[in-house]
Amino acid sequence: MPKRAAELLVQSLVAAGVKHLFTLSGNQILPVYDATIGREIQLVHTRHEAAAVHMADGWGRLTETPGVALVTAGPGHCNSLSALYVALMAESPVVLLSGHCPRTEIGRGAFQEIEQVATALPVTKAAWMVSHPDNLGKDITTALSLTQVGRPGPVHLSLPADVLEATVSASSESPNTSALERSEHPRIEGGNTPHFSTSGRNSLITKALNLLSEAKRPLILAGPAMARALRWEEVERLSERTGIPALPMESPRGVNDPWLHRATNSLAVTDVVLLVGKKLDFSLRFAESPFSKDTRFIQIDADEKQLREHQRVVLAIPDDPSRVVRDMVVAAKEWRWPGSSWRTEVETARNTVPLEWDQLRHSDQPPLHPLRVCEALQKFFDQGGIFISDGGEFGQWAQAGLQAQIRLINGPAGAIGSAFPMALAAKLAYPQRQVFVILGDGTFGYHALEFDTAVRYELPVIAIVGNDARWNAEYQLQIQNYGAERTVGCELLLSRYDKVVEALGGHGEFVQRAHELTPALERAVASELPACLNVTIEGVQAPTFPRK
């Protein structure tokens, strides 16, 4: 029986192990919806296209396998672009499939026609339009692979409606020329990892280890992808083998990431920094303060564009960071690493918080301090709960005040609104674990209706909304830059977000007093429903750790 290209697409996804399509329906992608019927793949139907991409992003980061989003053409595609940027900056393996007007109507003012590939290029590793029905299977395979080659990141395919409906030839299921070799691919970022001879790679590793072994206070800083899961384990093995402390750098606040606690002071005194898949960008102040003028950098990056000449970079290794780190672990056995208290100093600083935090964690004074909320939550993370967070000041307090084995934040993009959709993906990936989302009241508004998605798919995620009736991050910046008398455009209502969730079929609680926190959390867990704890909090500035 003849097969449509849409069926080939779904077949290719299933063969690659993709289990979920995070999606929102629309005219041009209905053939794909039809092709999923009876196949081992689930449509997770969201309320906004950006949420679909955020869910794919969360899946990609947590499982290290590509998350796949499917949206319709034109406005649907455009709605997804900001979420693609979040995934790009977080180095997350995501494939965005967007419907597109028919090929025969391109350039004639077709319904929802825009240059989708051009719009996606700045926020992806690669983007192209599928040109022929028979190419669709290999295009999908190539896109999935590209998300994980070199620096992980998102890839986009535009799917013309007439391509999806067309019949494919019998030979289309056979492997053939990779889509990477075709000229219609306008750009591929970080996808072509240089291939060195064994002697060439070993020579660069030897130079790097020499520099590190001679340093008094060396430091490893890992980029977003290298700070996750198996890649972070490789970094930790290198740290253990050499005695060099390692820190992840995945926050938009960079060197001021509150999660670093007092370890931020280590940046000012380190003499050699090994950047493992970490861009020398705004988050590191472009190698300026807080780093000393004498600090030298070694940079390992699969994307040669990131290895541009910089006077502070004394050695650049254009190769896959994960592979180089594994080789460094093996090679480091041959070095004598001087015993030093430096690693212990950095790790102790990372675990040290101000003495006054203990009082704030146990204060019953309303409105509640964010650390008082953290105190009530910590036991759930000690029991294996998953921590998801974004947002401004409340999110930063949570990231600084909570510890969890599995932790996911918005990432270097600095965008807010992704946390709740990502939490739904976390619940799909880890159905036996409790998933908690910590977000501000401003952030809640971005994807509040995804509680409807959570209810429909029976995903009992628990959101803790820190409600200070304000866009507090912007409010604090205005105070710092212009003075308290010139704050503007920051006020919100003390809205009953818990009632919104109840109206959508979830569990809601309004918490104003400290003694209400723990019982409310326990009732939320026991409800086995998507839940929202709307907690009135003190609108305080995010924690800072002054440098010595």
* pLDDT tens-digit map of 12-30: 999 999 999 999 999 999 9
Distance CA 157, CA 125 (A): 11
User: Given 3-state DSSP classes, what are the helix, strand and coil percentages for the chain, each rounded to the nearest 5?
Assistant: 45, 15, 35
Kindly state the percentage of the chain with pLDDT values over 90: 88
Cα–Cα dist 144/116, whole Å: 19
pLDDT band at 181 (very low <50, low <70, confident <90, very high): very low
Joined together, the tokens standing for residue 485 give 């008398």
**DSSP H stretches of helix in 243-292:** 266-269
pLDDT at 292 over 90: yes
Residue range 472-487, pLDDT digits in tens: 999 999 999 999 999 9
Q: Looking at residues 251-273, what average pLDDT do you find?
A: 95
HSE-CB of 224 using CA atoms within 13 angstroms? 29
- In 3-state terms, what secondary structure has residue 256? helix
In this structure, how many other beta carbons lie within 10 angstroms of the beta carbon of residue 416?
Answer: 22
First-to-final CA distance of the chain? 73
Higher pLDDT, 170 or 47: 47
Residue 3, beta-bridge partner list? 168
pLDDT average, residue stretch 317-321: 94
Residue type, 59: W
Beta-strand relationship, 406-409 and 462-467:
unpaired
Asked if the model's pLDDT at residue 443 lies above 70, the reply is yes
pLDDT band at 340 (very low <50, low <70, confident <90, very high): confident
Predicted local confidence at residue 240, as pLDDT:
95
Please report which confidence band the pLDDT of residue 67 belongs to, taking 50, 70 and 90 as the band edges: very high
Confidence of residue 180 (pLDDT cuts 50, 70, 90): very low
Summarised one tens digit per residue, pLDDT across range 70-105 is 999 999 999 999 999 999 999 999 999 999 999 999
pLDDT given at position 1: 65
Both tokens of residue 489?
């455009």
Ordered by where they begin, the domains of the chain are: 3-181 (3.40.50.970), 198-350 (3.40.50.1220), 356-536 (3.40.50.970)
Round the average pLDDT of the chain to a whole number and report it.
93
Q: What is the mean pLDDT of residues 368-373?
A: 98
Q: Is the pLDDT of residue 309 over 90?
A: no
Task: Report how far residue 252's alpha carbon sits from residue 501's, in angstroms, rounded to the nearest whole number.
Answer: 29
Give me the mean pLDDT over the 375-395 stretch.
Answer: 96
Structural contact between residues 247 and 346, judged by C-beta atoms closer than 8 angstroms: yes
Distances (CA, A) of 452 to 46, 71, 423, 427, 505: 8, 18, 14, 15, 7
Phi/psi for 436 (5° steps) reads: -115, 135
pTM of the predicted model, to two decimals? 0.94
pLDDT digits (tens, 9 = 90+) for 191-208: 445 555 667 788 999 999
Tell me the C-alpha distance between 229 and 243, whole Å: 21
